[in-house]
Structure 1
Amino acid sequence: MTPAVPLPRSLLTLPAEVGDLMDHTPESAYAHLRDTHPTWFLSPPGDDVIGIMRWPMTEGQVLHRDEDRVVLEDPVVLPDGQQARRLRLLAARPEPQVAVLPLVDGDVFLVDRFRHATRTWQWELLRGAGSEGISDADNAARQLQDQLGTTALELIGLGRVHPDAAILAGAVLLYAARIDTVGDARGDGIRSRTVAFAEAEQMALTGQITDALTITALFRARQAGLAG
């Protein structure tokens, strides 16, 4: 077993809010999360797993935390025994995110959002955070109501997907929704259009749609017999 050695500290040492802790250092925030959210730090059995080291060997850091997300820097042991630090982005709420592909008489309703992270417009389905105390399907229906002002005639589950497992810890639950009316998409920096299912697939093939959730939802909806 490789002996523990001190790891370099992150250049980012942003303070984190962790309830009533007197010491609001990134390290104490990390220890608080280990105590209050143990499932975030589990490792499955077996070889070739990236393990998370624990105090007193070393400690991780909370680089950012707000009501929606938590950014962690974990001290890890790689399968070859090397020690390193890896970033993770987790949802602060236990309810999974949902994403909904609206279908109008077999056509696909898409929204065009300006995304800050990519600094580009992105053709997408609808998505949003889950709300506490209601089912996943009801959360999907709520996205339709909140973002389009419409009600689903039928909701079809399309499974779950990890949008970027390299850094994002949470999965997103995919749904298709049959609707009969289309309102205006609500929110800043949003445009919309309705296209034939085959045209939406062509947009994905030609790179007009690059959003991973939308591409996955189109593929799964086709496999589920929902196209056209």
Structure 2
Amino acid sequence: MTEGQVLHRDEDRLVLEDPVILPGGQHARRLRLLAAGPGPQVAVLPRLKGDVVLTDRFQHATRTWHWEILRSAGAEGLAGTDNAVGQLRDQLGASVSEVIGLGQVHADADVLAEPVWLYAARIDAVGAVAHGEAIRQVCTVLFAEAEEMAMTGQITDAPTIAALFRARRTGLAG
């Protein structure tokens, strides 16, 4: 496979169309979306007194509101935990007492190139919410309620669902 043609580039994203050879030998072209900057994609599951903090955020691609955990590009050169702490501070005005790594996930391996690094974090409070980050509101729910929201389709964001699953599997749901 060779590097593809740049279809679009802006301050956030780079869209490539790559030539590929499929397993059966057919030639095709596939889209690939990359972050324009070198910082890692980070998603953080905030825990406040054992409960899950969810944001109601507008996502442009789906043109709708989504209940999800915090997610954004991190800063290049910072450790993942430092990027998680920065997101909590910048988007929720929260102070952090502990950050736990939950591994990585590919949110849409068909198109998105970079993995999303997942974290859980214990926070002391929710402060000033960054409404400029397309956050309409914040809610706090029991861990089991967040899982039920994922099961019933109220939460559809893949990194959020993966973080809930991994937090449960690592004993952080209690």
Provide the C-alpha distance between the structure 2 equivalents of 1:134 and 1:202, rounded to a whole number of angstroms: 34
Residue range with higher mean Cα deviation, 107-116 or 187-196: 187-196
Q: Output the TM-score relative to the length of structure 1.
A: 0.72
Mapped contact 2:34–2:114 kept (Cα < 8 A): yes
Partner of 1:128: 72
Task: Indicate the structure (1 or 2) with the bigger Cα radius of gyration.
Answer: 1
Partner of 1:151: 95
Mapped contact 1:125–1:214 kept (Cα < 8 A): yes
Whichever residue aligns with residue 128 of structure 1, its letter is: S
Q: Of the two structures, which has the highest relative contact order with CA contacts closer than 8 Å and spacing of 6 or more? A: 2
Any residues of structure 2 matched to 1:54-133 within 5 Å, and which?
60-133=4-77
Whichever residue aligns with residue 131 of structure 1, its letter is: A
Does residue 224 (structure 1) correspond to residue 170 (structure 2)? The answer is yes
Any residues of structure 2 matched to 1:33-72 within 5 Å, and which?
52-53=1-2, 60-72=4-16
Mapped contact 1:149–1:183 kept (Cα < 8 A): yes
In structure 1, stretches of 5+ residues that fail to align are 1-51, 55-59
Provide the C-alpha distance between the structure 1 equivalents of 2:102 and 2:130, rounded to a whole number of angstroms: 24
In structure 2, stretches of 5+ residues that fail to align are none
Provide the C-alpha distance between the structure 2 equivalents of 1:210 and 1:78, rounded to a whole number of angstroms: 30
RMSD over aligned CA atoms reads 1.3
| Aligned sequence identity (%) | 68
Whichever residue aligns with residue 151 of structure 1, its letter is: S
Q: Deviations over 1:94-149 (max 9, x none)?
A: 22111100001110000001212111110000011111232111011100110011
Provide the C-alpha distance between the structure 1 equivalents of 2:54 and 2:24, rounded to a whole number of angstroms: 45
Provide the C-alpha distance between the structure 2 equivalents of 1:207 and 1:104, rounded to a whole number of angstroms: 23
Whichever residue aligns with residue 149 of structure 2, its letter is: M
Provide the C-alpha distance between the structure 1 equivalents of 2:24 and 2:158, rounded to a whole number of angstroms: 31
Q: Output the TM-score relative to the length of structure 2.
A: 0.94
Pairwise CA distance, 1:83: 0.8
Provide the C-alpha distance between the structure 2 equivalents of 1:132 and 1:88, rounded to a whole number of angstroms: 21
Report which of the two has the higher share of strand.
2
Q: How many residues align?
A: 172
